[in-house]
Structure 1
Amino acid sequence: MQIQLLKSKIHRVKITQAELHYVGSITIDEALMEAANIIENEKVQIVNINNGERLETYVIKGERDSGQICLNGPAARKAQVGDVIIIISYASMDFEEAKKYKPTIVFPDDQNKLI
């Protein structure tokens, strides 16, 4: 049996940019991606703490150490610059393997930088 569980989480980062006229996705600072074990094109869930919106999209690599968190395309309508979000990815695993798995969780500072 396969189950879905938390793989990675970037907890409480601020939206720095929103680009409505773009194909779609979320751009994330490469350093944050690396620290959270998230790769380019990976499916993620975005949870907006300010307004309760939840959405799924895929990741685009942003400039390393820039603090960039940009919602692109239709997702840009789900948040405003300055909103605080949580970025979550999940993985499918065998039930027994999942019992031992430890997710990667990153807690950036208020400038979206690694502490």
Structure 2
Amino acid sequence: MKSKLHRVKITQAELNYVGSVTIDEDLMDAANLIENEKVQIVNNNNGERFETYVIKGERGSGMVCLNGAAARRAQIGDIVIIIAYGMMTEEEARTYKPSLVFPDDNNRLVN
């Protein structure tokens, strides 16, 4: 695991979109997520697990929007975990510290 946004709330779902998950740029920065990076999304409400890629959302908005086919995997208000994985050598993996982010109930960073 490279990065994790733990228990963020889905704020939007846009079925008629090319695809992806749009995430508030503040959350992306805190979790060390990169635009177009592949992520796994785990829905705590219904058990769905799926993969997509990240698009930058408006900074400070708290946005977590599922786009395209991913919009069928969750409803607005569902709580999800967004995880990114990275490739590294075994030596690097033994000392790597992932970026773990635990936002508040409104997808805002907690100091």
| TM score, norm. by length of structure 1 | 0.95
Q: Secondary structure at the match of 2:92?
A: helix
Q: Which runs of 5 or more residues in structure 1 are unaligned?
A: 1-5
Match of residue 49, structure 1, among 41, 44, 47: 44
Q: What RMSD, in angstroms, separates the aligned Cα atoms of the two structures?
A: 0.3
| TM score, norm. by length of structure 2 | 0.98
Equivalent-residue separation in structure 1 for 2:15 and 2:92 (angstroms): 40
Q: Percent identity?
A: 74
Q: Secondary structure at the match of 1:45?
A: strand
Give the deviation of 1:97 after TM superposition. Answer: 1.1
Equivalent-residue separation in structure 2 for 1:52 and 1:59 (angstroms): 21
Q: Deviations over 1:46-72 (max 9, x none)?
A: 000000000000000000010000000
More strand by share: 1
Moved over 3 A (4+): none
Equivalent-residue separation in structure 1 for 2:4 and 2:92 (angstroms): 19
Q: Which runs of 5 or more residues in structure 2 are unaligned?
A: none
